[in-house]
Amino acid sequence: MSKLFHDFFSHRALFYGLFNQAGKNIVEMAELLTAAVNTGTAEEREPFYRQINTLEETGDDITHKIYLGLDKVFFTPLNRKDIHILASALDDVADNIHEAAGRMHLYNIEELIPAIGEMTNYISLSCNEIQKLINALNKIVNTGAMLDACRQIKEYEHQTDLVYYHALASLFANEKDPITLIKHRDILFSLEASANKCKNVTDVIEIIILNSI
């Protein structure tokens, strides 16, 4: 019996530890993306893109470890399906931030439109809220506050959508160079997708919270 308790708590620490790592990873990626966007020149953004590339690989490794844990562990601290979906959702956030950074790097735009900065800021705010939620999953006590945080992330996603559609409308109305228009459109699309992936994480966390009540 003592071994069962020991195994359960060690496995609990394993999964929550990996989720915390994944949460911290997307926070750092989002902050690096925000820093890159707020940097003056395309050349100065280069180091930020390299760091984001490295962190995306770190995120893949964390996700792989979670999946390996599911294969090896019989007693899990959360529903096995929820663990798998949450790990996948966090990985999707990292992948989309990486994609947005990759497009910025590839297109080498010297002057980014203000909407890109607004959207990256909302993504960074969302990732920070996600990290707080993940920390709270280890011991769900204040479900009301956690659900409020989920609603806040959804509001950030809504605001990101508004910025996205207004920016697209402005580009099509005012940008005369079709290549520049396409480059900015693609970056905006990746950022909007990143915000949507943050919302998807909260959908999973909401289910976990509601199932705990």
Architecture per CATH, 2-212: Up-down Bundle (1.20)
- Confidence (pLDDT) at 154: 97
- In this predicted model, what pLDDT tens digit does every residue of 69-109 receive, in sequence order? 888 876 777 788 999 999 999 999 999 999 999 999 999 99
Q: Give the residue with greater pLDDT, 119 vs 70.
A: 119
Q: Give the residue with greater pLDDT, 132 vs 213.
A: 132
What spatial distance separates the first Cα and last Cα of the chain, rounded to whole Å? 27
Q: How many residues does the chain have?
A: 213
Indicate whether 1 pLDDT > 70: no
| Domain ranges across the chain | 2-212
Q: What is the pTM of this model?
A: 0.92
Indicate whether 3 pLDDT > 60: no
Indicate whether 124 pLDDT > 70: yes
